[in-house]
Amino acid sequence: MDRRGLLKALLAVPLAGASWLAHAQKKGMAMVEELQQNWKAYLATGMATPSPDEPLKLSKDEWRKRLSPAAYNVMREEGTERAGSSPLDREKRDGVFVCAGCDLPVFTSAMKFDSGTGWPSYFTTIPGVFETKTDYFLIYPRTEYHCRRCGGHHGHIFKDGPAPTGLRYCNNGVALKFVPKQGKA
């Protein structure tokens, strides 16, 4: 192979890699869209689900009766649970994670990944279930997300998740309940 042929071959490698990467990204996003569209396949038999468009508004006292003290601190006062304290971080069964405040399905087990952070983490959500705002509590801006139905604080979104979204929804376990797919809800 002459020098010109070698240079052409070396230049082709990054172009082929970029093309493969773009194809993999497109295929990965198609998988995410499929998960978001078919999330009901993870519901337990006969499980009824509230709509994110049906607001749930309760008084502070009603929330205190409805939630554990730890869940109240996280969901109503925007606290954070201790890393590694939630058994949901290790949950591996098929099913749906619902908001602990109002039972709105927010994630499926197929959206979960092990981030190694000590909090349940997800690379995408069921569409339309969260609202976001910018949080400056730790000085630098973070994206905080809340349940669209009840306003309960769940966690923060970070841009260090897996492909194809690159997102990590870092969720407090006490803000969730897990409903396994097997059997009735």
Q: Is 158 exposed, middle or buried (0-12, 13-18, 19+ CB in 10 A)?
A: middle
Distance (Å, rounded) from C-alpha 98 to C-alpha 155?
Answer: 14
170 is catalytic: yes
What is the distance, to the nearest Å, from the Cα of residue 32 to the centroid of all Cα atoms in its chain? 12
Q: How many CB atoms lie within 10 A of CB 36?
A: 15
Residue that is written with structure tokens 């996280």 in the block = 74
CB of 1 closer than 8 Å to CB of 9: yes
d(CA 8, CA 164): 30
Query: In the Cβ-directed half-sphere of 41, how many Cα atoms lie within 13 Å?
Result: 9
Catalytic residue, from 99, 102, 147, 170: name it.
170
Q: CA 155, 159, 161: angle at the middle one, nearest 5?
A: 85
Catalytic residue ranges: 170
